[in-house]
Structure 1
Amino acid sequence: MSDTGSYFTASPTGTITVASDGAVRVLLLAGEIDNAVVADYRATTASATDTGVTVVDASRVTFINSSGLSLLMEQTKAGRDSGQRIELRGASRRMRQLLEMTGLETYFTLTTPPPDAAGRQ
């Protein structure tokens, strides 16, 4: 996956990165995706609030709150508006439950992440 032209924010608790995988825009989330992490990301990417993300990799998320869910919806809006199904990779059981409770699971196709070079998912 290329990080050319990507947007990145990091805090002691979590990271948000938008990267390109060919023509596909991927939102990579890791750690705690909370108000502070999302606010930092929005401040860093003020001119890029809609990047046309069609894949979200949540396999490294340990916590996500409503600010994180709001960011998911913002970042995937262009894809959803054009009729694309958004792939959500590696969401934990807790994250899937949160999506179900809020009715947001219908916007995503849940998948497992592809294995890394060592064969781990």
Structure 2
Amino acid sequence: MEVTVERQGEVAAVITLAGRLDLVSAAAAKRGITDAVAQGARRLVVDLHRVTFIDSSGLSSLVAALKAARQAGGDLRIARPNEQALVILQMTTLDRVLTPFPTVEEALRGYDGQQSDAGNRDLPGRR
């Protein structure tokens, strides 16, 4: 699992994950995201466009990272999930708390109050 953190101003960060987000890599992903929170990033966007597969361990790491962000007074959003990730989020109803957005830019804009909570309406498979 490759984890890249790119700061966006003082309190925001885009975290790009690459590879499989599964039992083997979930701890590394969680650590990368929570480290960003520890360094002051409270508004997080996790870019999943390079993630090829997500299982329950991967989802758990995202939920734990969301909890860390919220405890710091922030939030975590998902950007550019592939079809498999989106189906998993929808099947588990985690798309209600890990809001998926079609682009990183839209997820970041949502933090500025420029977008409603319906940021995921343009994603494939959304009704």
TM-score over 0.5 (shorter chain): yes
TM-score bracket relative to the smaller structure: 0.5 to 0.7
Distance 1:17 1:70, change over 3 A: farther
Match of 1:109 in 2: 99
Q: Could you give the per-residue CA deviations for residues 64-95 of structure 1, whole angstroms, max 9, x where no partner exists?
A: 11111111111122444577553211001211
1:55 to partner: Cα distance: 0.9
Give the paired residue count.
Answer: 100
Partner SS for 2:81: coil
Which consecutive residues of structure 2, in runs of 5 or more, have no partner in the other structure? 106-127
Match of 1:36 in 2: 24
Following the alignment from structure 2 to structure 1, what is the Cα–Cα distance between the partners of residues 5 and 62?
A: 11
Q: Please tell me whether residue 58 in structure 1 is matched to residue 45 in structure 2.
A: no
Following the alignment from structure 2 to structure 1, what is the Cα–Cα distance between the partners of residues 82 and 27?
A: 23
**Structure number with higher helix proportion:** 2
Following the alignment from structure 1 to structure 2, what is the Cα–Cα distance between the partners of residues 65 and 34?
A: 5
Following the alignment from structure 1 to structure 2, what is the Cα–Cα distance between the partners of residues 88 and 114?
A: 8
Match of 1:15 in 2: 2
**Do the aligned residues in 2 keep the contact of 1:50 with 1:76 (CA within 8 Å)?**
no
Following the alignment from structure 2 to structure 1, what is the Cα–Cα distance between the partners of residues 26 and 75?
A: 23
Distance 1:66 1:18, change over 3 A: farther
Q: Could you give the per-residue CA deviations for residues 15-72 of structure 1, whole angstroms, max 9, x where no partner exists?
A: 1233322220222111111222223456x66x84954452110111111111111111
**Structure number with higher strand proportion:** 1
Partner SS for 1:88: strand
Partner SS for 1:35: coil
- How well do the aligned residues superpose, as a CA RMSD in angstroms? 3.0
**Do the aligned residues in 2 keep the contact of 1:15 with 1:29 (CA within 8 Å)?**
yes
Q: Please tell me whether residue 90 in structure 1 is matched to residue 80 in structure 2.
A: yes
